[in-house]
Chain A
Amino acid sequence: MTKRSFPGEFEQMVLLCIAQLGEHAYVIEIRRMLGETANRSATRGALYRTLDRLEKKGLVTWEVIEPTAERGGHPKRRFQLTQEALEVLRTSRDVLQRLWLGLHAVLGEP
């Protein structure tokens, strides 16, 4: 394991949502996916702060999309994962998979 900081649970969820949404990784969509798929209702403030933190850690970048009339001419940001983010997610998945090994009986699953 490298010395990079391991992202927290919520940060990982946000990263995974960005990965899942691909070209549609806008804040509104990320928040919707968190609520529907992860059953995690996050306040707007918490989500913006998390995205800000992930950007500072070098895990996400964003680009500006053309504003629309619906948005009153205000710009829209689309988020992408950096290579480092992919590394972090891969590492996290591997670690968790190793830790989950052989726990079916404990969970009462066949």
Chain B
Amino acid sequence: MADTIVGRSIVGDLREEYVEQVRSHGQRRAALWYWLRVLAWVIGDRFHRTSARLPRRSLKDSGHPLQEFTNMESVLKDITYALRALARQPVFALVAVLSLAIGLGVNTAIFSLANAVLLRPLPGVTEPTTLLEVGRSQGGQGSDTFGYLSLRSMRETSRTVELAIWNLAPMAIGGEEAADAVLGAQISENYFDVLGVTMQRGRGFGADEGPGSGASVAVISDALWGRRYQRDPGIVGRTIIINGVPAIVTGVAGTGFNGTFSLMRFDVWVPIGMQASGLFTDSTLERWSSNALFGIGRLRDGMTIETAAAELSQLMAALVQEHPDDLAGQGVTVASLGTVPVIIRTPVQMFMLALMIAVGLGLMVACVNVAGMLVARALSRGREIAVRQALGASRLRLARQLLTESTVLFLVGGGFGIVLAVGATRLLQSFNPPLPPPFEIALTPTLDARVLVFSLAITLLTALLFGFGPALRGSRPDLASAFKGDSPAAPATRSRTRGLFIVLQVAITVVLVVGSALFLRALGKANDIALGFDPDNVYSVAFNLNLAGYQPDEGQQVLHDLRAEVTALSGVQVASISALLPVGLPASMGFGGLTVEGVEPPTGSQSWSASVNLVSPGYFETLGMPLLSGGDFLDTDVQASETVAIVNQHAADRFWPDGDAVGQQFDLGGTVYTVRGVAGNAKYAALIEDLPYFIYIPVAQSYRPFTNLLLRLDADAASVLPAVREISHRLAPGLPVLDVLALRDYVEIGFLPQRFAANVAGVLGIVASLLAAVGMYGVASHAAASRVREIGLRMALGAGKREVVRMVIGQGLRAPIAGLLLGLVVAAAVTRLLGSLLFGVSPLDPIAYAAGIALLLLTALVANWLPARQAARLDPVRALRSE
């Protein structure tokens, strides 16, 4: 507003009216009133200044349609009118707002999940766009962990990236009684600096606290500081026990920083090389062949990902040349550091995209339904609109009012959708699949600014897309019919419009139902996937003997005694030890490359790649995995005896195709093993995987303190667990017993995406079917009502009730069948994108499509049968007399 007397007096007038509003309606409403008028003034004033500069002929001072259209005060009047009109038709408003709230709310909730998992920048770090993930490829494939020495060498020589090194490490915090099992990480001393993490208390690690220094220090998370130490202000400098070893807390990480995996929460960071059991020992750090560390980095000034990738690849190639035996086939992958590691990023992105498409389709069904209702409503006001047109209102003005009404409807629906989304995100936050402790999925979808902007954007977009058509249609009533009072007769154009809406609704519903059916089929097929073992009645108890500070000899004895005592428990059929859980990550222990005399490795490699697990005698019996030849490990297979191994059938067929593998020998990471037996093939890392060469080694010959006790029971687990805990406490005091995990639940983690997608698509399919049914019923009713005289005439001429029903249903099914055909074509195209998510079920699976066809036909029949039945009950005489 110009700083003139006129300008200031206008402001003063508004303020004076504002004071009156406060007196009449209260502070809040007055404030809203005030700011709406300021907005109206600003926009209107800008319009008039612009129009004043245009030639006189192109715009009149008042009454020009464009001016009418953008006159903000009249827009505000339209909004008030729209709200009153909705209040006068509560049923219409309720159905429309509810449909939109569900559609918009679910979209917002799923977007909040995608935001939390993929879009939201890593919290607690600075300039996340310059952070990188550096991974190891093998034979040009994959993006896995690195060896410490390789990363250290690249860290020292790279000019493009400042590299840091880390690995996750389960830890026990605290003394003997109240140990907390937490997820921690071992890090290089520059980890926090590279990430730009600020300490809210104290500091990170210094140069003298790096790998190999043996420094016993720790940084803890804000969450752990609150949870375990009640935000003790004296936490810095305090000594805490980590894996049985005292460590001094040097700092508390900034609020919000929980490591670099968005789905997991890290609570403790210690230097690589800290001398605590369970953490990397110096010998691990000194082996080129051990690959267990993650590399992250920040681009140096002026560098790009491409230059960094090129340089690191060159550095790695030089290392491979220097150490061909240990680093054969290794390369470097460089990618932006996201909230999800590269190795699972693409599947996660595809999964989220599929979810967004599914809920987007559900929203479209709701919008099409509402659009149909808006058209019907606008046309039923034909007389009112015709009168206004006759009195001089322009079509644009009327269309604006109708568009305002539909926008208000969508915004109200969107508002309730956000309320629904709040509840839905809370539900998503509680989603916690059973992972072996201390791992847990930490989903934190929230309605932050990005999600709210998305919600507003889709609300306005759908309002425009689906409100514009009905607004244009409604602003062009058939004047003659409107003045004569001809309604509810449906002119051909009205039927065509509503018919088109039905086609769209049914098509989208078909896609959702077929998608849901495909995922359900995939789940069913997943249950049929031959695991190669029987997970039912098998339970796993995780132990980490380092957490109580056991040395290898002591640890071996504890494991041996634990297995023996637990096996003797009533209800336990057999118990065994296994370093790894089947169908999970990690999929292999790091033992280096495999070579077999007389069998040439693949071109370009010095050795074969094989996966390895450490197991005790009884493992195969516990899992119900067959031993096809030879025999199981024995209690006498210990450190001092001959090194033996059991291989899977795939390895036996490849390396010893002409005879029995039993008794043959191979070299694994420099140690020669003799084959004791051949086990059946199984699933090792995932339900859909390339079958690897798998090797089992006796745990007594290669100690690993982080291990699992597997029990096959013939009774309910709950009755056995207290006894297992008691045995563990007695044999290993101070060792925290982590939760018991049913192996069936663990294996089914692999089905989670499919189950989730089937549930979401299924719910949406049901909601969409109901909306489509409502829409079809409405159209059929109106169509029947418009043919009352015709039906009366036919009945008077002898048509029976059955014939009338057939006639009405026949007409009513035309649009749904067209929609069904369209939907089947779209479904066939879209479901091709689902790929490996379907576990081998064809995207054109006939049973899934048959289910979709059956459901939609049934819905259409029922929706059309009710009006048909009503029509068949007409009194022909009354029908003939009707208008």
Residues of A within 8 A of B (CB): 26-28, 43-46, 48-49, 52, 64, 67-68, 70-77
Please measure, in the bound complex, the distance between the C-alpha atom of A51 and the C-alpha atom of B695, giving whole angstroms.
94
B73 touches A77 (CB 8 A): no
A45 touches B48 (CB 8 A): yes
In angstroms, how far is the closest chain A Cβ from the Cβ of B201? 47
Please measure, in the bound complex, the distance between the C-alpha atom of A68 and the C-alpha atom of B8, giving whole angstroms.
13
Interface of B is mostly: helix
B9 touches A75 (CB 8 A): yes
Across the interface, name the chain A residue whose C-beta is closest to B11: A74
* B44 at the binding interface (Cβ < 8 Å): yes
* 30 contacting pairs across A/B (C-beta < 8 A): A26-B13, A43-B44, A43-B71, A43-B73, A43-B74, A44-B13, A44-B14, A44-B73, A45-B40, A45-B48, A45-B71, A64-B9, A67-B12, A70-B19, A71-B13, A71-B15, A71-B16, A72-B11, A72-B12, A72-B15, A74-B8, A74-B9, A74-B15, A75-B5, A75-B9, A75-B12, A76-B13, A77-B5, A77-B6, A77-B9
For A28, the chain B residues whose CB sits under 8 A away are: 13, 16-17
* B41 at the binding interface (Cβ < 8 Å): yes
In angstroms, how far is the closest chain A Cβ from the Cβ of B799? 55
| Interface 0/1 of B1-41, CB less than 8 Å to A | 00001101111111111010000000000000000010011
Q: Determine which of A26, A44, A68 lies in contact with B41 in the assembled complex, contact meaning CB atoms within 8 Å.
A: A44
Q: Determine which of A45, A46, A49, A76 lies in contact with B12 in the assembled complex, contact meaning CB atoms within 8 Å.
A: A76
In angstroms, how far is the closest chain B Cβ from the Cβ of A18? 15
* B62 at the binding interface (Cβ < 8 Å): yes
* B660 at the binding interface (Cβ < 8 Å): no
B8 touches A46 (CB 8 A): no
Residues of B within 8 A of A (CB): 5-6, 8-17, 19, 37, 40-41, 44-45, 48, 62, 71, 73-74
Across the interface, name the chain A residue whose C-beta is closest to B19: A70
Across the interface, name the chain B residue whose C-beta is closest to A45: B44
Across the interface, name the chain A residue whose C-beta is closest to B13: A27
Sorted from nearest, which 4 A-B pairs have the closest CB atoms? A74-B12, A71-B12, A43-B73, A74-B8
Instruction: Choose among A45, A73, A77 the residue with the greatest number of B CB atoms under 10 Å from its CB.
Output: A45
Across the interface, name the chain B residue whose C-beta is closest to A8: B62
A44-B37, A44-B41, A45-B73 as given contacts; A64 in contact with B16, CB under 8 Å: no
For B19, the chain A residues whose CB sits under 8 A away are: 70
For A71, the chain B residues whose CB sits under 8 A away are: 12-13, 15-16
In angstroms, how far is the closest chain A Cβ from the Cβ of B495? 40
Across the interface, name the chain B residue whose C-beta is closest to A50: B62
For A77, the chain B residues whose CB sits under 8 A away are: 5-6, 9
For A44, the chain B residues whose CB sits under 8 A away are: 13-14, 37, 41, 73
For B12, the chain A residues whose CB sits under 8 A away are: 67, 71-76
Further 16 A-B residue pairs, CB within 8 A, beyond A45-B45, A71-B15, A72-B15: A26-B13, A27-B9, A28-B17, A43-B73, A43-B74, A44-B13, A44-B14, A44-B37, A52-B6, A67-B12, A68-B16, A71-B12, A71-B13, A74-B8, A74-B9, A76-B16
Please measure, in the bound complex, the distance between the C-alpha atom of A26 and the C-alpha atom of B9, giving whole angstroms.
10
Instruction: Choose among B6, B10, B12, B37 the residue with the greatest number of A CB atoms under 10 Å from its CB.
Output: B12
For A64, the chain B residues whose CB sits under 8 A away are: 5, 9
In angstroms, how far is the closest chain A Cβ from the Cβ of B78? 13
A76 touches B48 (CB 8 A): no
Please measure, in the bound complex, the distance between the C-alpha atom of A64 and the C-alpha atom of B17, giving whole angstroms.
18
In angstroms, how far is the closest chain A Cβ from the Cβ of B304? 54
For A49, the chain B residues whose CB sits under 8 A away are: 48
In angstroms, how far is the closest chain B Cβ from the Cβ of A25? 13
B48 touches A70 (CB 8 A): no
Across the interface, name the chain A residue whose C-beta is closest to B14: A44
In angstroms, how far is the closest chain A Cβ from the Cβ of B156? 67
In angstroms, how far is the closest chain B Cβ from the Cβ of A7? 14
For B6, the chain A residues whose CB sits under 8 A away are: 52, 77
For A68, the chain B residues whose CB sits under 8 A away are: 16
In angstroms, how far is the closest chain A Cβ from the Cβ of B617? 89
B15 touches A46 (CB 8 A): no
A44-B37, A45-B44, A75-B8 as given contacts; A70 in contact with B13, CB under 8 Å: no
In angstroms, how far is the closest chain B Cβ from the Cβ of A46? 7
Across the interface, name the chain B residue whose C-beta is closest to A73: B12
Please measure, in the bound complex, the distance between the C-alpha atom of A71 and the C-alpha atom of B8, giving whole angstroms.
10
Please measure, in the bound complex, the distance between the C-alpha atom of A44 and the C-alpha atom of B13, giving whole angstroms.
10
For A27, the chain B residues whose CB sits under 8 A away are: 9, 13
B9 touches A76 (CB 8 A): yes
B10 touches A48 (CB 8 A): yes
For A52, the chain B residues whose CB sits under 8 A away are: 6
For B40, the chain A residues whose CB sits under 8 A away are: 45
Please measure, in the bound complex, the distance between the C-alpha atom of A48 and the C-alpha atom of B9, giving whole angstroms.
11
Instruction: Choose among B8, B62, B73, B74 the residue with the greatest number of A CB atoms under 10 Å from its CB.
Output: B8
In angstroms, how far is the closest chain A Cβ from the Cβ of B564? 87
For B16, the chain A residues whose CB sits under 8 A away are: 28, 68, 70-71, 76
In angstroms, how far is the closest chain A Cβ from the Cβ of B500? 39
Please measure, in the bound complex, the distance between the C-alpha atom of A79 and the C-alpha atom of B18, giving whole angstroms.
22
For A74, the chain B residues whose CB sits under 8 A away are: 8-9, 11-12, 15
Please measure, in the bound complex, the distance between the C-alpha atom of A73 and the C-alpha atom of B16, giving whole angstroms.
11
Across the interface, name the chain B residue whose C-beta is closest to A46: B62
Across the interface, name the chain B residue whose C-beta is closest to A49: B48
For B8, the chain A residues whose CB sits under 8 A away are: 74-75
A70 touches B45 (CB 8 A): no
Instruction: Choose among A26, A43, A70 the residue with the greatest number of B CB atoms under 10 Å from its CB.
Output: A43
In angstroms, how far is the closest chain B Cβ from the Cβ of A89? 22
Please measure, in the bound complex, the distance between the C-alpha atom of A72 and the C-alpha atom of B18, giving whole angstroms.
11
Please measure, in the bound complex, the distance between the C-alpha atom of A49 and the C-alpha atom of B73, giving whole angstroms.
14
Please measure, in the bound complex, the distance between the C-alpha atom of A52 and the C-alpha atom of B41, giving whole angstroms.
16
For A45, the chain B residues whose CB sits under 8 A away are: 40-41, 44-45, 48, 71, 73
For B48, the chain A residues whose CB sits under 8 A away are: 45, 49
For A70, the chain B residues whose CB sits under 8 A away are: 15-16, 19
For B71, the chain A residues whose CB sits under 8 A away are: 43, 45
Across the interface, name the chain B residue whose C-beta is closest to A67: B12
Across the interface, name the chain A residue whose C-beta is closest to B10: A48
For A46, the chain B residues whose CB sits under 8 A away are: 62
In angstroms, how far is the closest chain A Cβ from the Cβ of B59? 14
Please measure, in the bound complex, the distance between the C-alpha atom of A90 and the C-alpha atom of B676, giving whole angstroms.
121
In angstroms, how far is the closest chain A Cβ from the Cβ of B401? 16
For B44, the chain A residues whose CB sits under 8 A away are: 43, 45
In angstroms, how far is the closest chain B Cβ from the Cβ of A72? 5
For B13, the chain A residues whose CB sits under 8 A away are: 26-28, 44, 71, 76
Across the interface, name the chain A residue whose C-beta is closest to B43: A45
Please measure, in the bound complex, the distance between the C-alpha atom of A68 and the C-alpha atom of B16, giving whole angstroms.
9
For B5, the chain A residues whose CB sits under 8 A away are: 64, 75, 77
For A72, the chain B residues whose CB sits under 8 A away are: 11-12, 15
In angstroms, how far is the closest chain A Cβ from the Cβ of B16? 5
Across the interface, name the chain B residue whose C-beta is closest to A74: B12
Across the interface, name the chain A residue whose C-beta is closest to B45: A45
For B15, the chain A residues whose CB sits under 8 A away are: 70-72, 74
For A73, the chain B residues whose CB sits under 8 A away are: 12
